[in-house]
Structure 1
């Protein structure tokens, strides 16, 4: 598979796709939630335009939630080396040339636009990242014009007969880096490029800007979008602190990521209104929230733990007894999975860009666990006289990994609950101050949403 047949099916790509999808949707993420999938036009030429917060994971989020083959577009300079270019074509990525790429770049783009037409008419989706680069922030950054130029030039090269639809997409992560978290992919209503044909023919620049602004507005509706520059951190912290009460006020009783997403969006909207109407109160609230968050981080407590409040000693004792009883299961799972997991965590720690950490961890995880499982099973078989014993051991490895993960998560939470109870009973001064600030924040947030 190469530049001239990138839209075609291939056995190698299908096998890779199936393997990576399993690790992405089943292993790495606890849950992948697709919202408004009906907004994807059927039997239409579609360009998908997601926000870009989390490097490779954004591309995978689309790849495994959109029911059609996808071809991505990336800057041409990464195709400079033939070997790397061959790999990029194999995983269905086309180059897009910019004026900075030197002489002949415009001519090369003509060939690319011919290929985009083939991609679209073959029933594939084209994916463009309109923000241009990734950044781990909860907001839509100013869009680049490249996606609009590509859409119009592709139409122009085909006499404006393709009727391309642009589908805005909002991707939201419950945590950018952690394993076993939740991912939401939210599809917005499609934009018809044909709505801008007449304007483009008269004034291309005006049409490009109009399409860009239209898409930007629709993308903002699909994510938790914090527009405040001065108080971005305040918004980001407060949405986690107040989430339980915000959900309750909206009648969303279950604590899950879709409900958190809805509550976060509403709180951000109301806080934006409060900032406009009461700008003089924002500095004090900002200082209070940051002071509380610093103390909470120092003690290692989660906002969820403070929202739960005190738990009974009897309940904690029951949980402790259960963890002690199941400790052998954890030990077995830990000992048999510590090497591939340790390598995955170590590899992630070596990546400086926080938004590349999850991408790198995902790739290492997908490679390390199968390799170590095979090696460990071979070693086990050398010492096991029963032929079926090795198969049982191999089957136990992923099961024990899941059980050890659950046990460790439960242990960490229980440890913090005991710590919280101890601090509360001893009236630890720092803890008391943290709780005072917490209740002041909740009271102020109540005022914001009222």
Structure 2
């Protein structure tokens, strides 16, 4: 029953994601080892959406290392455990809390020993900017602890690049790139642990900088980002976009460009607003103002839609069925569903 519940939840979320995003492009799944220990290492731009997108599309049933401060309430602990989430402690949680990490590392080794996969964000924080931030050494400690405890077990790393077309806007599109796996065992030298840490961190960082758009110069970030937007580059293709980044003059500042919609686009927006007015009204007046960081905008919007739309469709069907008939209600809901799907797909 537990596995059935997990699969139903996963199916519901996956369906929601593929309706929420106009396009989800997944590449490199053939690089993910099957039935072998794997540590997925993605870049981190969009809070919980990064987790969900990997969870539903990585062809594994992974565990997730999650910051410990979300495990504050007993009910949440049980729910997160059900979702295979494991707390990891950071320096901001206090030095005493860091002592708990050794038990977490040993638990990860046990998970690897059973051939499972784990997802961890090596940047150790999220940021909406299109750049790979310095990696924490925490993921190397987990890997090397597992290699020492499981000397005969092959443990793989799979860097993952998450690329959002808009980052926080809607409708949005996303491309996910699973890189070729890296065998950790051959990179660990017990006589030079720090050297091994630096080598693994450097390799993963280099891979991530290829798998997602990376603006290296943080001081010139706004100039470069503005030029990329003005050029209307394809952020879903980081390989080509990074070539453009390398050719830009970082001293040039560009005013934000607002794309003008044609008459069909204006009409489509107007009809979408009318058909979904109750949902949009509640989101804009009640839910959206509660978003505390831009990195959480997509996550909160998706979560709100995932919960609100089934209720909206059910209430709308009930009202129309009472006023007209069940068949009319079903036809209206079907039309609304198809229109919303087409609107997202084509924007």
TM-score by length of 1: 0.69
Equivalent residue for 1:266, pick from 217, 221, 243? 243
Question: Residues 136-191 of structure 1, C-alpha deviation per residue, up to 9 Å, x if partnerless?
Answer: 11111000000000111122233x22221111111110011222321011122222
Sort the Cα spacing of 1:126 and 1:71 in 2 relative to 1 into closer, same or farther, 3 A.
Answer: same
Deviation string 1:43-99 (CA, Å, 9 cap, x unpaired) is 321100000111111111211220010110023343242112111111110122457
3-state SS of 2:125 partner: coil
Bigger relative CO (Cα 8 Å, ≥ 6 apart) = 2
What residue number does 1:379 align with?
Answer: 319
Aligned 8 A contact 2:27 2:177 in 1: yes
Whole-Å separation in 2 of the counterparts to 1:265 and 1:56: 25
Write the distance in 1 (CA, Å) between the matches of 2:336 and 2:135: 46
Match of residue 10, structure 1, among 3, 10, 15: 3
Give the 5 Å matches for 1:155-170. Answer: 155-158=147-150, 160-170=151-161
Please state whether the residue corresponding to 1:10 is helix, strand or coil: helix
The SS at the match of 2:65 is strand
Q: Aligned residues, how many?
A: 345
Match for residue 116 of structure 1? 108
Q: Deviations over 1:201-238 (max 9, x none)?
A: 11322322221122111111111111113311111111
* 1:97–1:109 contact (8 Å) kept in structure 2: yes
SS of aligned partner of 2:211 = coil
Map of 1:139 onto structure 2: 131
Q: Structure 1 residues 139, 400: closer, same or farther in 2, change over 3 A?
A: closer
Compared with structure 1, are the counterparts of its residues 331 and 165 closer, same or farther at alpha carbon in structure 2 (3 Å cutoff)? Answer: closer
Match among 170, 182, 185 for residue 173 of structure 2 = 182
1:14-33 deviations in whole A, cap 9, x for unaligned? 111100100102x1101111
Whole-angstrom distance in 2 between the partners of 1:16 and 1:93: 15
Task: Indicate how the Cα distance of structure 1 residues 235 and 330 shifts in structure 2: closer, same or farther if over 3 A, else same.
Answer: closer
Residue 297 (structure 2) pairs with residue 357 (structure 1): yes
Aligned partners of 1:68 and 1:123 also within 8 Å: no
Residue 74 (structure 1) aligned with residue 63 (structure 2): no
In structure 2, distance between residues paired with 1:404 and 1:59? 25
C-alpha deviation, 1:270, in angstroms? 2.2
Corresponding position: 1:19 with 2:8? no
CA distance in 2, matches of 1:44, 1:330: 47
Q: Is the alpha carbon distance of 1:374 and 1:45 closer, same or farther for their aligned partners in structure 2, counting shifts above 3 Å?
A: same
Q: CA deviation at 1:105?
A: 5.4
Q: Within 5 A, what are the aligned runs for 1:99-248?
A: 101=94, 103=96, 106=99, 108-158=100-150, 160-197=151-188, 199=189, 201-243=190-232
Distance 1:404 1:90 in 2: 35
Give the equivalent residue in structure 1 for 2:276.
337
Local SS of the residue matching 1:112 = helix
Q: 1:342 to 1:119 in 2, by over 3 A?
A: farther
C-alpha distance 44-230 of structure 1, shift in aligned 2 (>3 A): same
Separation of aligned partners in 1, 2:72 and 2:345: 45
- Take 1:269 and 1:33, find their aligned partners in 2: how far apart are those partners? 25
CA contact (8 A) 1:45 1:165 kept: yes
Q: Secondary structure at the match of 1:32?
A: strand
Q: Distance in 2 between matches of 1:404 and 1:78?
A: 35
Aligned partners of 2:56 and 2:337: how far apart in 1?
Answer: 22
**Structure-2-length-normalised TM-score:** 0.88
Q: Distance in 2 between matches of 1:39 and 1:323?
A: 40
CA distance in 1, matches of 2:288, 2:97: 39
More helix by share: 1
From 362, 365, 368, the counterpart of 2:308: 368
Aligned residue for 1:63, secondary structure, equals helix
Within 1, Cα distance between the matches of 2:159 and 2:41? 5
2-side partners of 1:394 and 1:189: how far apart?
44
